[in-house]
Amino acid sequence: MTLNFKASDVTDGGMHTFEVGERKVLVTRDGDDFHAFDAICPHAGANLGDGVRCGSRIVCPWHHATFHAGDGSLIEPPALEGLKQYRVQRDGDGLSVDLDDVVPPERPAPSHQDHHTVIIGGGASGFMAAQTLRDGGYEGKITMLTAENRAPYDRTALSKAYLSGKKPADKLPLGGADWAQENKIDLREGVKVTKLDRDTRAVHLDGSDSLGFDAVIVATGATPHTLKVPGAELDGQYPLRSFRDAQALRDAAQGKHIVIIGSSFIGLEAASSLVEGAASVTVIGQDAEVLSRALTPKVGRAIRKLHEDNGVKFHLDAEVTAIEGSAKAEAVRLKSGESVKADLVLLGIGVKPNSDLLSALANEKGAVPVDAELRAAPKVYAVGDIALSLTVLGEMRVEHWRVALQEGMTAAQSILKSSDLEPMNRRVPFFWTQQYGKSLRYVGHAENLDDTHLWGNPDELKFIEFAFKDGQAVAASGMGMDKDLAAFEELLLLGRAPGAGEVRAGEFSLAERLK
């Protein structure tokens, strides 16, 4: 198949999606230079033409994966690979793209042949670090040690598509079922690391084994908090962090009265995934409204109503004082005296970073400070949930999936000393949640919600809510306004986020402001 178009069909400095039969082709233009790519984001299938272009960056409208406008290479996850590129032919003002004429990606020069990188942790950060090393020409040895008896997988699907039964287990592995073998990764599953000796550059394993390293990436993630109330030891209570947790929960949930303790993202995603097959789902939250750390009460009420319309019940501004039952959980007792029937209890009350291996470097909250290249100490990198890293909004520890992927990518580029290295102080925190087929996206970070402004109508699930600090927008959450939220991230990155006065003056296109 061939795409034919005119130069005038694509604005200079812009991009445009063309349909060729059932396929979509994205064409970018910079002066007389045209480049053509698959228009579908390899992460989740969004049309990249519905996103934004900012200089050399093409930003996906859904999950903000970012690609280079000149060669389609991956700049930012959560996509795990770049775009397929097609050759563009020109004849006067007419241009054509033969979809069988693929431009092969440029292969980097081989390097680090006698180098050994040990990655402790098989989550998002660890996976992305290993993938980036191999994609960057790293030919040394890569050893990945994971406590789970499972290769790296998409943890974001656990509380969403996997828990609801819409995504089978064999579709969860990151990079595919044979990723480790294909990339020559020495993946060791079910392994416990007992000590990291920075002086001798050795990783000690449970037993007597140890591994030497030239570089080590600590990507040990986090552990869910547990309840500390009478009855916390009873069976029938589930965390939701690992595949094993999600599998056990899904197997046990059908037809049950389910109580979810925690009214934040994990709890609400699980509620939306489980309510269809459950006898009942009740969410208990300590705060007066759901998602109170990220959204104002007005927006939180709209999200809660979405759940209530689908049959979920809520007890908010509530405190759990006990789990009741004989051998297993049968009810959740509240401080008000009310008892909520529970055949099954799901705990969604936050996590703590697994930073024991770097405890000498961690702060009082268990976060490990790192530099702009994710280095915690010479030859030692800390990434993901344990890292206290730099962003455009200052230093913070962020537990989001995309940030974990970004940090793994940056640590690997630092080891490679890649020219593509983008220090973490040029990152913007971003996460998303999906409930009942509706996606809420959150860009930036706000320490509080004392100063906010709302565009649109949360009750119609089409809005952007801005949060300000010192008169400048530092965060925005929204639904149904994907392009503007993608543009807001780029504006934060550029230091051009709108001020509170401008936002309050009336709605305008954030995407247009980028130009």
- Answer whether 369's CB lies under 8 Å from 376's CB: yes
- Average pLDDT for residues 493-511, to the nearest whole number? 97
Q: What is the per-residue DSSP string for 229-245?
A: STTTTSBSEE--SSHHH
In a domain, 111, yes or no: no
- What is the tens place of the pLDDT at every residue in 429-476? 999 999 999 999 999 999 999 999 999 999 999 999 999 999 999 999
- What is the tens place of the pLDDT at every residue in 85-106? 999 999 888 999 999 999 999 9
Regarding whether 503 and 477 lie in a shared domain, the answer is yes
Written as six digits, the tokens of 86 are: 């097609």
> What pLDDT is stored for residue 207 in this prediction?
83
In a domain, 431, yes or no: no
Regarding whether 8 and 86 lie in a shared domain, the answer is yes
> What pLDDT is stored for residue 208 in this prediction?
79
Boundaries of domain holding 257: 237-347
Regarding whether 407 and 458 lie in a shared domain, the answer is no
Place of tokens 């994609």: 135
CATH number of the domain where residue 284 is located: 3.50.50.60
3-state class percentages of the chain: helix first, strand second, coil last, to nearest 5: 25, 35, 40
Which of 379, 397, 426 is the last residue before a domain boundary? 426
Enumerate long-range contacts of 414-419, CB under 8 Å, 24 or more apart.
414/373, 414/374, 414/375, 414/381, 415/112, 415/117, 415/133, 415/138, 415/215, 415/381, 416/111, 416/112, 416/132, 416/133, 416/136, 416/137, 416/138, 418/136
Instruction: Give SS3 for 23.
Output: strand
> What pLDDT is stored for residue 421 in this prediction?
56
In a domain, 228, yes or no: no
In a domain, 418, yes or no: yes
- What is the tens place of the pLDDT at every residue in 110-163? 999 999 999 999 999 999 999 999 999 999 999 999 999 999 999 999 999 999
Regarding whether 153 and 91 lie in a shared domain, the answer is no
Tally of structural domains, the chain: 4
> What pLDDT is stored for residue 426 in this prediction?
75
pTM comes to: 0.96
